[in-house]
């Protein structure tokens, strides 16, 4: 039995957006095993991103507890949380969030410079098949290429956890499949625990487990006996 | 170099337009302080060095004729360090091919050669030989005005006798940094000369062998000036003296002090305003600029950067912007400072200039700008950094708009949707809108105050030359003459009208407050030299009582109806009590005036005149000049028109140049502010504007929405801008007022119009530049919204 990397208990998150209180997450409890590839499915506003952000140390729950390898994330100070993000977590966002004024290489270096035992930026770019585009600025890259740079940036620090929020959301199917392929590769080759949020149900086939979200809770968990390779996906 | 530093470098390059615009705003503030303080200090140090090296005296006195034996007794006065007795007389000059009568101030040189006090700075040639009675040294500006050099000749009517003189040297003197002829308001280098001659020559001509007519004293550091003056007056009184005075009343020194005072006051008033305004604007701009970086800050947090590293990164960005501004501002300020120093140095006849280093000024300006810039950045950073990374990475939540504003009112339906967007946008962030408006108002205000100085000069000329003193010429006599002299003068060719005047040096006192000035007597109904009061109406003098300058009234704390004590320092010296009958708003000097008859009675003498004001037929000027040159009793002629020309060519140029420099700096600041407002406003509204483009609005329509907010802010800012500008002008006016000259508080409507026009032009140009970016909006990229 693999080690439990995340243990969430009764996580709740309420946002005050302008004048409206949004219950983004309601009493969610969950365990994630090390090396697992988990796909999170569900409509907009169902709580996927909120859970992912809390796991990534990008946000804090309103109540509940979250443990990372026995460390209570919910009890960490702001500085400790930053260190947690820096050392353990790689994040991939739907809109890539590359720094426009930095090249592909430099966007990756932005992270390797502050991590303890990173790979070389070129190595990370090679893992996503972009070594040839290292000196291009984000504006000179296609959407898929930008997203792969973002993945390279996320994995370059050799994180234990890779959190991906709609990594294919802004991409066409062919490019999306290349991105998923890159993520699956990272998961299998480096053993990085990977959580992928998506709207795209066909992606679930690459996962060990699929979490279905609705109204801020996990409504269903599906376990895949056999994982498909990304190449086998279509949508 | 870390990757963050690479980002910094690229961001600076990407935003170069804004970076430069903000840097220029900072530069404007820094330059104004560096330039004004730098030039003031340079001139002040130049003055101090000149006075010290050339032994400018501390106390001065004129006598009719005092024996040289008196010098030993003067030297014995406690506190006196050195005494220089000499002969000093005024005389008319006749210069070849120069029709106008010129005046020379003849000063004797001791037999030993160079004087002990008020030493000469020899620019060329040599001193006259003790026995070469026709050799003279002339002051440099006079020589330059006529193209004279050693060897040139001109003649003078010395004590009624015409005499050919040969120039052997050109010199400058600390006593005549500002050389002004009798009756004149402005220096006229062509018509007024300082001429140094051997003592023997002057003594012979004026019958002053073994005697002197002027004495200068240098005091010990611990001497009490008033006590020395009293003691000197006591010694000189039997010899027709008794009106000794200190540097404060020495004409050249007083004018120089006033000029430096004006410069100092300008440097204490305008630059702080500029610096504070620029600091405020930079703070405002950078705060908004950093707020735009919200998502990148969120990303850096998400990637595991500490808040301190992120803050340091943006602090570096802002510091670089500030440094660019500080460097540009310091360089421009230094260059302008040297330019202004030379301009003043030229106007005041300094033989050399000392350029003062002012590291403290640079440091002060730099620190203030830097703090302002960093302060602005930190204000935004504190807010953003405190957000959770996930929140910061998302655009701010849709703000809660108030329907209340125009919503319920019928007026709401009158406004277009676009107008509504703009109005609600501003109402949503009222503080930001108010600050933006205030910033723009300050830009207008500093333009108003810069332009005000030019207005003031026009008003000064108008009141002085066209309303008060309307004479064409003023003849002054070497000695006072019976008032009947006016009949002789009336008969001179070309004279249309003549008015005699009498001037007596006085000390005027109320309580412990005392000033030295001239009391002039005017005939009733004087029409040429009129008295104009505060409300610009002609004042006719009452039969008794004295009219004084309003500024003198304030100095003495004397109001109409108050009694002042007056020491008459001429003729039969007496101390009398007079009632202040009127306060006169004049702009030059501090004066006291009274009815000529009353003055004669006060002096217990028959009506006399020191000079005559003339109205002249232009066509017969040359004849008049010829006639005047033949009058041995005339010491000088002041020509009003020439005075006006000189005013415009000298002081007015300096003041308008300064005003021009400040106006230029304020235009730079204004432009930087407006451009940044437009650019930032575009970034803030990029999403909304792109949405409108997608919805089918044309590029032109979209741009108009963007410009609507800018123009509303610009328009709203104008009235407060005018008000602040008027307030600053009032402050300037108070600061620049001195005993020699006051600046009237007149802000022309045209000034407001001009200031506003400049702002609108800046807005228009900014709009055109920024407008191009609306065309380049990447609709897809901007519109990709997050979940």
The tens digit of pLDDT for each residue in A153-168 reads: 998 988 999 999 888 8
> Which residues, other chains included, contact B193 with Cβ-Cβ below 8 Å and sequence gap of 6+?
B93, B102, B103, B104, B105, B138, B139, B142
- Strand locations in B254-376, DSSP E? none
Handedness of CA B54, B55, B60, B63 (dihedral sign): negative
Range(s) of the domain holding residue A228: 4-232
Q: Which residues of B touch A (CB under 8 A)?
A: 2-4, 6-7, 10-11, 14, 295-296, 299-307, 388-391, 393, 397-400, 784, 786-787
pLDDT attached to residue B240: 84
Burial A19-40 (b: 16+ CB within 10 A, else e): eeeebbbeebebebeebbbbbb
pLDDT attached to residue A209: 94
Range(s) of the domain holding residue B371: 1-59+249-396
Choose one of B396, B431, B457: the last residue of a domain.
B396
Do B80 and B41 fall within a single domain? Answer: no
Distance CA(A67)–CA(A46), nearest Å, equals 22
A209: closest CA of chain B, how far (Å): 23
Q: Give A18's contacts in chain B (Cβ within 8 Å).
A: 397-400
Residue A91: strand pairing partners: A163
Distance CA(B524)–CA(B540), nearest Å, equals 7
Q: Which of A45, A57, A106 minimises the CB distance to B3?
A: A106
- With cut-offs at 50, 70 and 90, classify the pLDDT of residue A174: confident
The total number of structural domains in chain A stands at: 1
Choose one of B218, B248, B278: the last residue of a domain.
B248
Do B196 and B343 fall within a single domain? Answer: no
Do the chains contact at A111 and B393, CB–CB below 8 Å?
no
Do the chains contact at A79 and B306, CB–CB below 8 Å?
yes
Mean pLDDT of A101-106: 90
The total number of structural domains in chain B stands at: 4
Of B86, B140, B131, the residue nearest B109 (C-alpha): B86
A147 pLDDT exceeds 60? yes
Choose one of B366, B396, B426: the last residue of a domain.
B396
B369: closest CA of chain A, how far (Å): 27
pLDDT attached to residue A114: 86
Distance CA(A128)–CA(B105), nearest Å, equals 94
Q: Give B296's contacts in chain A (Cβ within 8 Å).
A: 99
Do B79 and B225 fall within a single domain? Answer: yes
pLDDT attached to residue B786: 40
**Chain B residue with minimal CA distance to A109?**
B3
pLDDT attached to residue B57: 96
CATH code where residue A206 lies: 3.40.50.300
Distance CA(B321)–CA(B127), nearest Å, equals 58
B443 burial class (0-12, 13-18, 19+ CB within 10 angstroms)?
buried
pLDDT, one tens digit per residue, over A65-91 is 999 999 999 899 888 888 898 889 998
B286: closest CA of chain A, how far (Å): 19
pLDDT attached to residue B111: 84
**% of chain A beyond a pLDDT of 70:** 99
Do B787 and B764 fall within a single domain? Answer: yes
Residue B741: strand pairing partners: B588
pLDDT, one tens digit per residue, over B718-762 is 999 999 999 988 988 888 777 777 777 888 888 999 999 999 998
Mean pLDDT of chain A: 88
Q: Which residues of A touch B (CB under 8 A)?
A: 17-19, 44-45, 49, 53, 56-60, 78-79, 82-83, 85-87, 89, 91, 93-95, 97, 99, 101-102, 106-107, 109-111, 113-115, 153, 157, 165-166, 170
Q: Give B2's contacts in chain A (Cβ within 8 Å).
A: 113
Do B422 and B383 fall within a single domain? Answer: no
Do B427 and B546 fall within a single domain? Answer: no
> Which residues, other chains included, contact B581 with Cβ-Cβ below 8 Å and sequence gap of 6+?
B541, B542, B544, B545, B546, B547, B560
pLDDT attached to residue B275: 78
Q: What is the dihedral of CA A148, A152, A153, A159, to 10 degrees?
A: 130
pLDDT attached to residue A33: 94
**Chain B residue with minimal CA distance to A60?**
B388
Which ranges of chain B have pLDDT less than 50? 404, 406-410, 412, 785-787
Do the chains contact at B391 and A59, CB–CB below 8 Å?
yes
Do the chains contact at B304 and A78, CB–CB below 8 Å?
no
Do B597 and B650 fall within a single domain? Answer: no
Do the chains contact at B305 and A170, CB–CB below 8 Å?
no
> Which residues, other chains included, contact B374 with Cβ-Cβ below 8 Å and sequence gap of 6+?
B315, B318, B319, B322
Do B749 and B695 fall within a single domain? Answer: yes
Is B627 within a domain? no
Of B102, B244, B304, B126, the residue nearest B187 (C-alpha): B102
């Amino acid at each position: 039995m693999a080690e439990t990397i995340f243990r969430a208990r009764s996580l709740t998150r309420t946002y005050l957006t302008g004048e409206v209180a949004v219950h983004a997450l309601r009493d969610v409890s969950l365990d994630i095993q090390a090396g697992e590839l988990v796909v999170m499915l569900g409509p907009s506003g169902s709580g996927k991103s909120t859970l992912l952000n809390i796991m990534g140390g990008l946000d804090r729950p309103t109540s509940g507890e979250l443990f990372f390898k026995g460390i209570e994330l919910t009890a960490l100070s702001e500085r400790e949380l930053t260190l947690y993000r820096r050392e353990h977590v790689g994040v991939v966002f739907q809109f890539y969030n590359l720094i426009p004024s930095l090249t592909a290489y430099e966007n990756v270096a932005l992270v390797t410079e502050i991590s303890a035992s990173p790979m070389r930026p070129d190595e990370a770019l090679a893992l996503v098949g972009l070594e040839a585009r290292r000196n291009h600025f984000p504006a000179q890259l296609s959407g898929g290429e930008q997203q792969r740079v973002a993945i390279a940036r996320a994995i370059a620090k050799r994180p234990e956890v890779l959190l991906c929020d709609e990594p294919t959301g802004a991409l066409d199917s062919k490019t999306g499949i290349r991105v998923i392929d890159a993520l699956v590769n990272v998961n299998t080759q480096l053993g990085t625990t990977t959580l992928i949020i998506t709207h795209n149900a066909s992606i679930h086939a690459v996962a060990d487990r699929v979490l279905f979200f609705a109204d801020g809770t996990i409504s269903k968990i599906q376990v895949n006996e056999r994982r498909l390779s990304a190449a086998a996906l279509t949508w | 170099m870390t990757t963050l530093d690479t980002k910094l470098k690229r961001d600076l390059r990407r935003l170069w337009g804004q970076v430069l615009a903000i840097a220029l705003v900072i530069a404007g503030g820094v330059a104004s302080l560096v330039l004004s303080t730098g030039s003031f200090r340079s001139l002040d140090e130049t003055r101090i060095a000149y006075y010290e090296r050339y032994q400018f005296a501390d106390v001065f006195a004129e006598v009719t004729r005092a024996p040289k034996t008196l010098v030993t007794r003067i030297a014995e006065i406690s506190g006196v360090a050195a005494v220089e007795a000499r002969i000093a007389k005024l005389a008319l000059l006749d210069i070849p091919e120069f029709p106008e009568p010129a005046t020379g101030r003849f000063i004797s040189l001791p037999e030993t050669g160079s004087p002990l006090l008020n030493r000469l700075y020899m620019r060329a040639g040599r001193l006259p030989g003790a026995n070469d009675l026709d050799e003279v040294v002339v002051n440099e500006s006079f020589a330059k005005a006529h193209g004279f050099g050693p060897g040139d000749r001109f003649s003078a009517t010395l004590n009624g006798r015409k005499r050919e003189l040969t120039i052997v040297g050109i010199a400058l003197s600390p006593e005549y940094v500002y050389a002004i002829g009798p009756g004149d308001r402005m220096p006229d280098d062509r018509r007024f000369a300082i001429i140094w001659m051997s003592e023997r020559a002057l003594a012979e001509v004026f019958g002053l062998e073994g005697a002197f007519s002027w004495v200068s004293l240098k005091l010990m550091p611990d001497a009490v000036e008033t006590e020395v003056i009293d003691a000197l007056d006591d010694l000189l009184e039997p010899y027709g003296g008794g009106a000794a005075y200190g540097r404060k009343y020495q004409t050249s020194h007083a004018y120089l002090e006033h000029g430096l005072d004006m410069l100092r006051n300008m440097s204490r008033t305008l630059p702080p305003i500029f610096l504070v305004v620029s600091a405020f604007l930079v703070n405002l701009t950078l705060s908004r600029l950093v707020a735009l970086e919200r998502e990148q800050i969120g990303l850096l947090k998400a990637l595991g950067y500490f808040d301190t590293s992120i803050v340091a990164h943006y602090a570096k960005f802002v510091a670089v912007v500030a440094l660019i501004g500080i460097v540009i501002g310091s360089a421009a300020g230094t260059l302008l400072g040297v330019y202004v120093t030379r301009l003043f140095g030229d106007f005041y006849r300094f033989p050399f200039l000392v350029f003062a280093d002012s590291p403290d000024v640079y440091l002060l300006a730099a620190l203030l700008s830097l703090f302002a810039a960093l302060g602005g950045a930190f204000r935004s950073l504190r807010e953003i950094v405190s957000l959770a990374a996930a929140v910061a990475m998302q655009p701010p939540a849709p703000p809660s708009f108030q329907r209340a504003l125009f919503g319920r009112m019928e007026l709401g339906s009158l406004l277009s949707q676009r107008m509504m967007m703009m109005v609600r946008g501003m109402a949503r962030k009222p503080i930001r809108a108010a600050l933006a408006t205030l910033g723009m108002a300050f830009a207008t205000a500093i333009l108003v105050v810069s332009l005000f100085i030019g207005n003031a000069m026009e008003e000064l000329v108008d009141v002085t030359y066209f309303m008060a003193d309307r004479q064409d010429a003023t003849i002054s006599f070497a000695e006072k003459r019976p008032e009947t002299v006016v009949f002789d003068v009336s008969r001179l060719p070309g004279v249309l009208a003549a008015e005699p005047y009498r001037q007596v040096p006085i000390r005027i006192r109320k309580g412990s407050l005392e000033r030295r000035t001239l009391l002039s007597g005017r005939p009733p109904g004087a029409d040429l030299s009129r008295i104009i009061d505060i409300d610009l109406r002609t004042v006719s003098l009452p039969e008794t009582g004295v009219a004084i300058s309003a500024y003198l009234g304030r100095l003495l704390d004397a109001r109409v109806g108050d009694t002042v004590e007056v020491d008459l320092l001429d003729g039969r010296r007496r101390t009398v009590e007079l009632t202040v009958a009127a306060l006169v708003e004049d702009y030059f000097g501090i004066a006291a005036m009274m009815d000529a008859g009353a003055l004669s009675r006060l002096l217990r003498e028959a009506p006399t005149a020191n000079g005559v004001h003339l109205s002249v037929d232009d066509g017969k000027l040359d004849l008049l000049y010829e006639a005047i040159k033949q009058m041995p009793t005339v010491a000088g002629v002041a020509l009003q028109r020439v005075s006006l020309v000189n005013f415009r060519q000298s002081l007015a140029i300096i003041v308008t140049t300064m005003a021009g420099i400040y106006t230029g700096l304020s235009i730079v600041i204004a432009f930087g502010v407006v451009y940044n407002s437009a650019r930032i406003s575009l970034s803030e509204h990029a999403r909304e504007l792109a949405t409108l483009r997608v919805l089918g609005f044309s590029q032109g329509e979209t741009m108009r929405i963007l410009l609507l907010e800018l123009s509303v802010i610009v328009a709203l800012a104008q009235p407060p801008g005018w008000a602040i500008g008027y307030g600053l002008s009032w402050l300037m006016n108070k600061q620049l007022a001195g005993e020699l000259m006051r600046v009237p508080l007149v802000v022309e409507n045209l000034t407001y119009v001009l200031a506003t026009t400049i702002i609108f032009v800046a807005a228009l140009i900014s709009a055109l530049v920024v407008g191009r970016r609306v065309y380049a909006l990447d609709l897809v990229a901007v519109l990709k919204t997050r979940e």
